[in-house]
Structure 1
Amino acid sequence: MKQGPRRDQFVDIRRAPRVQTPRASRAGSSGVFSVNCGTNEGQAHSNPDNVVAAPGVVNGAHHIHDYVGNLDTDAFSTDETLTAAGTTCTNGDKSAYFWPVLRLRSGQDDSERAGQSKVDGNVGSVVEPSSVKLQFLGNARGKVRAMPQFLRMATGDAKSATNGLTNANALWSCSGFQSRGFTDKYPLCPRGSQVLRVLNFAGCWDGQNTDSANHRTHVSFADKRTGQCPQGTVAIPQLRMTLSYRVPARALAFALDSFPEQGHDPVTDHGDFINVMGQRLMRQAVTAINSGRRR
């Protein structure tokens, strides 16, 4: 088990590099479709499974995930059980949205999973996000088309501390400082500012597959400079999760749950998504995004 986090991984947000975003063209789609699914109040839906990366494996993540949206999500979820389940989303979206929890390291874990979490090296009290913003964005170069139902996606790499940065996609920032962000550092935020985790998912799809062996190659990211989707792919609504937390602006005060060998490295931040929107709701999302509206 790797020890961590390290004191030098906590850095003032004002020292973070600027976040680069492509400039939208006239042909681009600038609308935003938002979904309100709550914050997983009281840890009502959490487990150490990952049905996207490790279906059928109990404790497959070796860290606790927060869930919003679909109420069925665990290691054994199927398209059928997800469709039949309820949801926390106010517009009826049954999609599954999940991410690893953040903890106060000095806190006490009184949950029924505390023993297993301790074995996996994840200790402290889980911090409930003060807000969870789920947004579907457009493409800087063109219109988006509907994503297929049951499309599965992961962003970031939960093992990037050992795998390297190829698939790392963490973005740590602070409210009021969103133009700056770290990939491999925890931000220390000024008084009154909250820690932000921004999880950007792929916005380009191969047009055929809802999943792939590594849960990545059926989707891809647009070019960071131009916003253009790779050849042979089509633009779809790009999911962005923004998680806000009130935590002390002090080194070592908080940390991300992680696999035992990852040492709570901030670069391992990641998220997962399964699209279980109905066709009507997806059409509403596409229309809003392509017409430049916010809803």
Structure 2
Amino acid sequence: MGRNTRKRRMPLATKIVAGAAALTVGGGGLVWANFYASAHEDHSGHNRTRSAAAQVATIDCPDVGQKIRDVPDRARGEVDGELATMDSQITNAYQRLATTRRAQAGDAQFVQNSILGPLKDRRKAIIDRIQLEINRAGGKADDNLDELAACQGRPADQVQNGDGQNGGGQNGDGQMDDGQNQGGDGGDGGDGGDGGDDNGNGVAGPVADDFVDINDVQPNTRDSRNGLAADGDGGSTGTFTTDCGVNENNLFNSDNLIAAPGVDNGAHHTHDYVGNQDNDAFSSDEDLANADTSCQNQGDKSTYYWPVLRLQDGTQEFDANDQGGGAEGNIGKILKPAEAQIRFVGSRQGDVVAMPKFLRIITGDAKSFTNGDANANTSWSCSGFEDRQVTDKYPLCPDGSQVLRTVNFQSCWDGQNIDSANHRDHMAFVQEDGSCANGFQAVPQLQIRLAYDIPTPTVENGQVQNPYAVDSFPEQLHKPITDHNDFINVMDEDLMNEVVDCINRGEDCQ
């Protein structure tokens, strides 16, 4: 599979992950099964699963970007760049964690002294620069941001509590499986691991506990996050559907134009793009407005993007050695949706107003495994089982049933801004009665439904073979709760007015 991108990325200087990814190509499922089994067999008179669980499985850092509010416009570029650097620091620290298992086993203070301590110092320096940039641009930086510099190591058996500090799940206890520690046999750290649990691919996650049989999910138990179209006499009940394909043009990259503009590999995972065909970190609003589009309606040059799904079957994709791909633990065959349904719906309380051009919306949270589930939003399900939705599990679907990945965006706009400092505050979900709070205005709600033909993974005796997983930041361990979706409105004025009129008239248009 090729890719359509303006840049060529250099591989991250981390040998262990890319090397392990290459190893799976030769051995396929055999390497997977043997590696995983070795981590759970009882050797030398002790149970290695229990000892592995005592290790730090991932790194949990406070999300500085979510705490920033008052950032003057002229400082936002610099602040976004600093936050992207902070993400790179976490990625590098996590990969150091993954390649020093032997040293950790011999020194109880190794993680703190060699990984977390230096990471805190580096984060503190960036926070200081962020505060300086905000104040220099005329804003007032939060003096308490320094409290967010320290990160923690999270053991594999630590339970999530969903309080916004440690991630949590909807349909399980969120407990990290013993198979989530990432091992190695060399790499930058030089001391490698000796059987760390990693599911056999050389990268952490997903593991058996990340999957659930759809038949075991209780119907109608998940909050739909305003997912139903408007109903009632006062609502705007129409819909507008735009057909933009399923990324037939192979437009992939690991940038994030919204959260990390101007930063190469700002997402640390690969995205699918449909709609606008000029999507990378360096695209300006003018670039987007002048670009081609994959949408059938050429007036819709909006960009719709999401992290790719991969089948961890040993396939070496085009990005097997690249940042955002195999060099950061995102390995296996990229799975394109069989169908991508993109539609806009109305408000239960009344008419909607037009979205401003270049409005940016992020929904879900790429870091929700460590941030907590407050912003988690994607629903996972199976065709034929749409009344059974999960957020923190990948569904195991029966033969003939597609994996469904659905997201409903925020639909209340502050009426002024196309973006905000944390890329969230200018948008909100409706209240329980369907109205917008705080003087926000209802805009058409974007809903995206992706359907995939995926061979059902096999889960037996606590092991999963040929799992599928969403691309993620390395330290997020490919958890389903980290799924997210991004949108930039680049519809021309006439088309946006048509969308609004159609929805407010109660018609179904496309």
Higher strand fraction (1 or 2):
1
Partners of 1:213 and 1:115 in 2: CA distance: 29
Aligned-pair RMSD on alpha carbons?
Answer: 1.5
Partners of 1:88 and 1:176 in 2: CA distance: 29
> Could you say if the C-alpha distance between residues 240 and 114 of structure 1 is closer, same or farther in structure 2, counting changes exceeding 3 Å?
farther
**Residue 337 of structure 2 is aligned to residue 136 of structure 1:** no
In the alignment, is the contact (CA less than 8 A) between 2:317 and 2:334 conserved in 1?
Answer: no
Give 1:139 deviation, angstroms. Answer: 1.0
Q: Which moved more, 1:10-19 or 1:98-107?
A: 10-19
**Residue 313 of structure 2 is aligned to residue 106 of structure 1:** yes
Which residue identity lines up with residue 7 of structure 1 in the other structure? A
In the alignment, is the contact (CA less than 8 A) between 1:109 and 1:126 conserved in 2?
Answer: no
Which residue identity lines up with residue 310 of structure 2 in the other structure? R
Structure 2 gap ranges (5+): 1-93, 95-181, 183-203
Question: 2:231 corresponds to which residue?
Answer: 24
In the alignment, is the contact (CA less than 8 A) between 1:157 and 1:168 conserved in 2?
Answer: yes
Partners of 2:419 and 2:272 in 1: CA distance: 22
**Residue 243 of structure 2 is aligned to residue 41 of structure 1:** no
SS state of the match for residue 287, structure 1?
Answer: helix
In the alignment, is the contact (CA less than 8 A) between 2:317 and 2:331 conserved in 1?
Answer: no
Partners of 2:395 and 2:365 in 1: CA distance: 19
Partners of 2:223 and 2:317 in 1: CA distance: 41
Match of 1:256 among 452, 470, 479: 470
> Could you say if the C-alpha distance between residues 149 and 167 of structure 1 is closer, same or farther in structure 2, counting changes exceeding 3 Å?
same
> Could you say if the C-alpha distance between residues 197 and 114 of structure 1 is closer, same or farther in structure 2, counting changes exceeding 3 Å?
farther
Identity fraction in percent = 53
In the alignment, is the contact (CA less than 8 A) between 2:288 and 2:490 conserved in 1?
Answer: yes
Provide Cα deviations, 1:50-92, integer angstroms capped at 9, x if missing partner: 0011111111101000000001010011110000111000001
Which residue identity lines up with residue 471 of structure 2 in the other structure? D
Partners of 1:113 and 1:7 in 2: CA distance: 24
SS state of the match for residue 41, structure 1?
Answer: coil
Provide Cα deviations, 1:10-58, integer angstroms capped at 9, x if missing partner: 112233342445672210111110000000026x101000001111111
Q: Which moved more, 1:176-185 or 1:254-263?
A: 176-185
Give 1:197 deviation, angstroms. Answer: 0.7
SS state of the match for residue 132, structure 1?
Answer: strand
Structure 1 gap ranges (5+): none
Partners of 1:216 and 1:39 in 2: CA distance: 26
Alignment of 1:273-292 (within 5 A): 273-292=487-506
Partners of 2:307 and 2:504 in 1: CA distance: 32
Alignment of 1:235-254 (within 5 A): 235-250=442-457, 251=459, 252=464, 253-254=467-468
Give 1:271 deviation, angstroms. Answer: 0.6
> Could you say if the C-alpha distance between residues 112 and 258 of structure 1 is closer, same or farther in structure 2, counting changes exceeding 3 Å?
closer
SS state of the match for residue 494, structure 2?
Answer: helix
Provide Cα deviations, 1:227-281, integer angstroms capped at 9, x if missing partner: 2211310100000111110112224421110000000000000010000000100
In the alignment, is the contact (CA less than 8 A) between 2:320 and 2:327 conserved in 1?
Answer: no
**Residue 404 of structure 2 is aligned to residue 203 of structure 1:** no
Match of 1:233 among 431, 440, 445: 440
Match of 1:212 among 396, 400, 420: 420
Partners of 1:52 and 1:217 in 2: CA distance: 14
Higher helix fraction (1 or 2):
2
Give 1:109 deviation, angstroms. Answer: 2.4
Which residue identity lines up with residue 247 of structure 2 in the other structure? N
Structure showing greater radius of gyration is 2
**Residue 337 of structure 2 is aligned to residue 121 of structure 1:** no
**Residue 217 of structure 2 is aligned to residue 10 of structure 1:** no
> Could you say if the C-alpha distance between residues 130 and 114 of structure 1 is closer, same or farther in structure 2, counting changes exceeding 3 Å?
farther
> Could you say if the C-alpha distance between residues 16 and 141 of structure 1 is closer, same or farther in structure 2, counting changes exceeding 3 Å?
farther
SS state of the match for residue 97, structure 1?
Answer: strand
SS state of the match for residue 485, structure 2?
Answer: strand
SS state of the match for residue 82, structure 1?
Answer: helix
Partners of 1:235 and 1:14 in 2: CA distance: 36
In the alignment, is the contact (CA less than 8 A) between 1:32 and 1:288 conserved in 2?
Answer: yes
Higher relative contact order (CA 8 A, sep 6+): 1
> Could you say if the C-alpha distance between residues 265 and 56 of structure 1 is closer, same or farther in structure 2, counting changes exceeding 3 Å?
same
